[in-house]
Structure 1
Amino acid sequence: MGQGVSVGLSVPLAEELLSELAQYTLEAPASSWGSQSTESCARFRWAVNVGCWMPDGGSHGEEFRLLLSLLPFEEQQAVMQYRTLPDRKRTLVGRLLSLRACAQALGDPTYDHIQIGRTKGKKPFLHSPLPGSLPNFNFNISHDGNWVVLASDCLYLVGVDVSAPQIDRGEPDDETWFQDMTSVLTETERETIRRGKTHQERYAIFQRIWSAKEAVAKAVGQGLSFGLERMEVSFPELEEEGIGSLVWSAMGWSRSEEHPPKRGRTHFSSLLANLQGGARGDRQSKRLEDGRVLQGKPCKVELHIDHWLRTDWMVEQQEFSGGSWVTVALGPVDDAVDADGNFKTTFRIPGLGGPASVEALAAKGQTEASQNWIPKPSGFHQLSVDALAPEKVRKELTALKARSWAAAAGV
């Protein structure tokens, strides 16, 4: 990745890119998958809570097997090589999310013709066919704890990472992790973590740092081999003057109290809602549970790579119910690392730059299509596992569950 970064564009280059962008609608074709208004430009943000999915018979039951059959044989084997049901569920749902994203981008009601490749760094990508209306379509998936997430984009490199709290990972609720992770943290990041008042707060800060670095490394296509120690992330909202006192106040007690009242874990997104003076936090909790948009307050992340501030990258985070943090990172296509060369061939506008560069183009474009060029925070859509199957298979799943319920009721 380059060191010097400029978001300015020469006039000839700007005019050329405007002409290229004008050829694409950036919208996913209408299909049986349906389309949310916020997803019309194929910028998908999906999350599945696999902790709530309990297939009858586990991974050997009919429901799991029917969904598994949607994958190519080698992918089915990859899912079943895991020993535990939670790992199998996470892996299967991640593969199905990838297929649905590709199918919806193509307007294809089935998965029959979709071929997904992987970079040498294991980033999945749509190899063929390529969507005609989306110049640089790519996607990324992540899973940890109860959540499996997907983010896609039609212009920029995209990476996503979700980081679960220790309890959801089945790890001890302590700080043994800190020494193990020191090598991938800068001194500034270590100091930020130490500012947490409890080990749960310190781990939550670490979650955000790790998730941001992972999302960028996955977007590039290298994953951990990119070198997480090359990056430094910071959180502007944590640096605001007086934020500490405001947060403690939002929690309902003063920092001067020696023993704060005992209560459940307070989520950062809920704190921000309280700081903004409303009961939005309670409504947000309900929305997280009822399958609608996971509209947590987005938080900006500042990114340095090799000591250079990367304003050409857009990195945003939000907190999910249960204390998981998810990061979406968007960057210039030119930053892709693709040793085999297959991933890069899927990009039709490789020299576009990152969101900051395109924002300048959008001001020049002044067209309806240009409104889709800059991603707007829209939250993640929570999907059911059934929603990851084509329509025909969804009907089979419905019938299968009806028979199961009838049998259980003795009908």
Structure 2
Amino acid sequence: MVTLVTGDIAALSAPDVVARWLPASVSAAAPDGPRRQPFLAGRVMLAAHCPDESLQALTYNHHGKPAFTRPGAPFFNISHSGNEIVLAIDTFAPVGVDIEIERPRKTWPRIAQDYFGAAELQRLKALPETEQLCAFWHGWTLREAVLKQRGGSVWDMAALDVSTSALNAHNLYTRWHHQHPCVIAVCAAHPFDLAVVTMTRA
């Protein structure tokens, strides 16, 4: 089972919510600028759903992916798009999650050509025009979730084979969750069911 927690960045980073859930040292470590609210909202979600873990003792890989340091602690990953934020928690193995607001993007064919494989790009272009943008966002979130599960970066995306057979050969499994207006992809190192929870200010 993988738990997927969804939330609203503005609500979860509000001063009263932050004061309730976060130690002062964690709040003080939040970056300034546009990254501040997503950082605080993500840490609030972690505090609420991983209460036995220390937020002061996170470690980061060379791509900046955070993890708990305690042996036996759950694995997690966080993603946000616009005002939407998600937290994926897996008890057993590293997990990756990506969320994107399904929005118009005129440059998607060029992005797909740069980062998707030739076979997938051909499948995209063969779809009815009204379905292509949605399929692009599915492909993008899937790649991001797989990369984040592995601890990689977007620069590795073009080399990914995200066909089901290729992923399963590496013991990687994926699921999508749709929460209008967003598409969310989750990748774990084992077959899994997805338990979806929405976190509010309370």
Query: Could you state the TM-score of these two structures normalised by the residue count of structure 2?
Result: 0.82
Match of 1:198 in 2: 129
Deviation at 1:65, TM superposition (A): 6.4
Letter in 1 for 2:160: M
Is residue 162 of structure 1 aligned with residue 116 of structure 2?
A: no
Output the CA distance in 2 between the equivalents of 1:122 and 1:178: 29
Deviations for 1:252-286, whole angstroms, at most 9, x for unmatched residues? Answer: xxxxxxxxxxxxxxxxxxxxxxxxxxxxxxxxxxx
2:114 aligned partner? 183
1:384 maps to 2:200: yes
Distance change >3 Å, CA 65–CA 49, structure 1 → 2 = closer
Look up the equivalent residue of 2:88 and give its one-letter code.
A
Cα pair distance change 1:99/1:223, threshold 3 Å? farther
| 1:97 counterpart residue number | 45
Q: Counterparts of 2:94 and 2:172 in 1: how far apart (Å)?
A: 9
Does 2:89 correspond to 1:147?
A: no
State the alpha-carbon separation in 2 of the partners of residues 189 and 72 from structure 1.
Answer: 42
Aligned position for 2:26: 72
Comparing both chains, which one has the higher relative contact order based on Cα–Cα distances under 8 Å and sequence gaps of 6 or more? 2
What is the deviation of 1:64?
6.6
Q: Which residue of 2 aligns with 1:137?
A: 74
Deviation at 1:69, TM superposition (A): 5.9
Contact persistence 2:79–2:97 (CA under 8 A) = yes
The residue number in structure 2 matching 1:216 is: 146
Query: SS of the residue aligned with 1:72?
Result: helix
User: Partners in 2 of 1:328 and 1:62 — Cα distance?
Assistant: 30
Which secondary structure does the structure 1 equivalent of 2:64 belong to? coil
- CA shift at 1:62, angstroms? 4.6
Aligned twin of 2:177: 318
Among candidates 146, 152, 162, match of residue 233 of structure 1? 162
Give the drift of 1:176: 2.0
- Aligned-pair identity (%): 18
- SS in structure 2 opposite 1:125? strand
1:67 CA displacement: 6.1
Distance 1:194-1:156 versus aligned 2 partners, 3 A rule: same
Change (3 A) 1:232 1:96: same
What is the distance in 2 between the residues matched to 1:165 and 1:123? 24
1:49 is aligned to: 8
What residue is the counterpart of 2:166 in the other structure? 304
Q: Distance in 1 between matches of 2:192 and 2:117?
A: 29
RMSD between aligned alpha carbons? Answer: 2.9
More strand by share: 2
* Count of residues in correspondence between the two structures: 201
Calculate the TM-score normalised by the size of structure 1.
Answer: 0.43
Deviation at 1:123, TM superposition (A): 1.1
Could you say what secondary structure the match of 1:160 adopts?
A: strand
Partner deviation per Cα, 1:206-237 (whole Å, 9 max, x = no partner): 11111111111111112324x11121334xxx
Q: CA deviation at 1:46?
A: 0.6
Bigger radius of gyration: 1
1:81 is aligned with what amino acid? G
Mapped partners of 2:3, 2:20: distance in 1: 21
Q: Which runs of 5+ in 2 are unaligned?
A: none
Question: Which consecutive segments of 4 or more residues in structure 1 shift more than 6 A?
Answer: none
Trace 1:14-25 onto structure 2 (pairs within 5 A). none
CA deviation map 1:151-204 (0-9, x unaligned): 1112122111112122xxxxxx352232134211111211222234335x3221
In structure 1, stretches of 5+ residues that fail to align are: 1-40, 167-172, 235-301, 332-354, 356-373, 387-411
Q: Is contact 2:75–2:89 with CA below 8 Å preserved after alignment? A: yes
